[in-house]
Amino acid sequence: MAIKKMDNIYDDFTDCKRILREITLMRKLRHPCVVDLIEICHAKDPEKFATIYVVMEFAESDLKKLVKSNITLEILHI
């Protein structure tokens, strides 16, 4: 399991939309090559609601690291 903490989710309108889009996509995607969304946790106090935690399946690496690396992906990896 992995937990992604998202702070100050309402500080920037564009970031807020990206977070909502990411969560929406993760809820809908079901594929062996995509991590599963397990749960979304939020602050208990709705007055101070600014952080959410996205609980998901653990992945050994992430796409950003893979793209920035200088390795060549084989068909199996793609």
Is it the case that residue 78 has pLDDT exceeding 70? no
Q: What is the pLDDT of residue 34?
A: 85
pTM for this entry: 0.70
Q: For residues 68 and 45, give the distance between their C-alpha atoms in angstroms, rounded to a whole number.
A: 39
Q: What is the pLDDT of residue 77?
A: 66
* SS3 label, residue 22: helix
Where exactly are the structural domains of the chain?
2-68
Pairing of strands 37-42, 52-56: antiparallel
- For 55-67, how does the pLDDT look when each residue is reduced to its tens digit (9 = 90+)? 999 887 777 777 7
Q: What is the pLDDT of residue 27?
A: 93
- For 3-29, how does the pLDDT look when each residue is reduced to its tens digit (9 = 90+)? 999 988 889 999 999 999 999 999 999
- Class of domain 2-68 (CATH, top level): alpha beta
